[in-house]
Amino acid sequence: MVSERGLAVLRAIVQDYVATREPVGSKTIVDKHRFGVSAATIRNDMAALEDEELIAAPHTSSGRVPTDKGYRLFVDQLADVRPLSAAQRRAIEVFLGESVDMDDVLSRTVRALAQLTHQVALIQYPSTSRAKVQHIEFVAIAPRRVLVVVIADSGVVEQRVVDLPVDHEESTLRALRDAANAAMAGKKMTDAAPELRGLASRFAEESRPLVDELASALASIIESTRQERLIMAGTANLVRTEHDFSGSIYPIIEAIEEQVELLKLFGEMAAEQHGVAGNRDVSVSIGRENEPFGLPETSVLTSGYGPTGEGVARLGVLGPTRMDYQANMAAVRAVARYLSRSLGE
C-alpha cells in the first residue's frame, strides 16, 4: 500500500523524469519539491515505491525512473487535467474553423493535435456501423459524367464521379434521386445497399443502363464506407523521441502504417474505457498494456468524438511512455470536444 507521501514522491519522479529524461534522486526531490522531510525519509519512500515496482533504477547507484506500473498509478491518480491555454484553444478554433468538408476537418484536426502534443496523432474515420443514410444526390457535371454523393447522419460525406455509357437526362437523375432516397434514407449504412436491388426495374427500358450504372456506383460507395481506417500526422515526432525506446522504432512505424493493430487497440480502449478518475472521457493505455498490439514501449491516449458527442469514433495520440500525460490528455479531450461540436453543427 502506497502512502500519500509516497504517491506525492511518485508524482515528483514522473514529472521530473518526463521533463529531463534524467533518473531522479532523493536529493533532487528534497531540493526541488520541498516535502519538508530529510533526504533519508525520501529514500525510504523511494524504496517502498521500488518494492511495489512503481519505480526502478536504470543503473547501479543512479536515481530512479517510473515503470509502466508507476505511470499507470500516476495517471489513475490524476485529480484533474491541465486545461489548454486560451491561445491554444483559439488556435484550434481558427485552424479547424477553416475546414471545408469532412475529409478536410479530420485532416486539419489530426495535424493540430500532432502540433499541440508533439506526438503521433491519430483519428479514426467515423464508423458507419451505427450511421444512417441522410441524403443521396446525383449531380450532372457533363453529358456522360455524374457525381454521386452519399451523406450520413454521422457527418460523413462520400462522393464519386461516375462515367456513364450513355447520355443522362436531368429528369432521370431527379427520379433516381427521389427513388434512392425513398428506399434508403434513414436506413443504416450497413443495411442500405440491398435496397438498391430492383431499382432499375422501376424505370423505362431506355433508362435502365444509366440507372444500373449509378445504382452500382452508389452501392460501391456505401460498401467502401464500412472499411475502418485511420488518419494520422506527426510520425516524425517518433524520430525526435527515438532515444526513449530501447530498440528500433521501425516496428512501431510499421504498426502505425498498417493500422490493423491500432484499430484493434482503439476498439478495446473504447470498450474497456481505461479512463482516469474525474476524466473518464480520456482513455489511456500504457506500455506493456499495448504489448498484444506490438506497441509495448508506447502509450496511447484516446477520446471518443461524434456529431452529438456520442463517440462514434476515436481520436488520440501515440508516443513513448515518457510523455506529459496531463498536457496530452488535455489536448486530446479539448480537440475531441471541439470536433464533436463542429460535426454537430
DSSP codes, 224-262: HTTS--EEEE-THHHHHTGGGSSS-SHHHHHHHHH-HHH
Segment 2-18 shows an average pLDDT of 94
| 330 and 232 in a common domain | yes
**Please, which residues bridge with residue 276 across strands?**
279
Entry field: residues in the chain:
345
Question: Helices 39-51 and 4-20, interaxial angle, to 10°?
Answer: 90
| Structure confidence at residue 221 as a pLDDT band (50, 70, 90) | confident
198: cell is: 430492383
CA 88 → CA 47, 121, 245, 306, distances in Å? Answer: 40, 16, 29, 22
Higher-pLDDT residue of 74, 100? 74
Residue that finishes a domain, picked among 173, 195, 224: 224
Residue 23, domain CATH: 1.10.10.10
Classify residue 291: in a domain, yes or no: yes
Q: What is the count of structural domains for the chain?
A: 3
Q: Residue 5 pLDDT more than 90?
A: yes
Classify residue 186: in a domain, yes or no: yes
pLDDT of 265: 92
- Tens digit of pLDDT for each residue in 164-214? 887 888 888 999 999 999 988 888 877 777 878 778 888 888 888 888 888
Q: Residue 80 pLDDT more than 80?
A: no
Segment 233-255 shows an average pLDDT of 90
Classify residue 59: in a domain, yes or no: yes
Q: Indicate the helix (H) or strand (E) that contains 29.
A: helix 26-33
CA distance 297 to 252: 9
pLDDT of 311: 58
Classify residue 288: in a domain, yes or no: yes
CA distance 36 to 342: 49
| 217 and 137 in a common domain | yes
Cβ(274)–Cβ(289) under 8 Å? yes
Classify residue 140: in a domain, yes or no: yes
CA distance 215 to 212: 5
| 284 and 268 in a common domain | yes
Cβ(281)–Cβ(336) under 8 Å? yes
| 241 and 219 in a common domain | no
CA distance 226 to 191: 11
Q: Residue 26 pLDDT more than 60?
A: yes
CA distance 100 to 64: 49
Classify residue 302: in a domain, yes or no: yes
| Structure confidence at residue 345 as a pLDDT band (50, 70, 90) | low
| 109 and 244 in a common domain | yes
Segment 335-342 shows an average pLDDT of 87
- Torsion angle defined by CA atoms of residues 254, 255, 256 and 259, in that order, rounded to the nearest 10 degrees: 120
Residue 109, domain CATH: 3.30.450.40
| 312 and 255 in a common domain | yes
| Structure confidence at residue 276 as a pLDDT band (50, 70, 90) | very low
| 216 and 232 in a common domain | no
Higher-pLDDT residue of 96, 267? 267
pLDDT of 273: 59
Residue that finishes a domain, picked among 176, 192, 224: 224
| 235 and 337 in a common domain | yes
Minimum mean pLDDT range among 5-14, 34-43, 46-55, 161-170: 161-170
CA distance 99 to 122: 18
- The single residue listed with the C-alpha cell 460498401 is 223
Q: Indicate the helix (H) or strand (E) that contains 54.
A: none
Q: Residue 300 pLDDT more than 90?
A: yes
Residue 142, domain CATH: 3.30.390.10
| 232 and 121 in a common domain | yes
Structural domain that includes position 303:
86-127+228-344
| 141 and 123 in a common domain | no
Segment 210-232 shows an average pLDDT of 82
Segment 58-87 shows an average pLDDT of 86
| 316 and 298 in a common domain | yes
Burial of 269 by CB count in 10 Å (0-12 exposed, 13-18 middle, 19+ buried)?
A: buried
Classify residue 81: in a domain, yes or no: no
pLDDT of 310: 55
Residue type at 40? A
- Per DSSP, the chain holds a count of helices (H) and strands (E) of 13, 10
| 203 and 311 in a common domain | no
pLDDT of 330: 92
CA 278 → CA 79, 275, 282, 283, 340, distances in Å? Answer: 7, 9, 10, 12, 20
Classify residue 164: in a domain, yes or no: yes
pLDDT of 22: 93
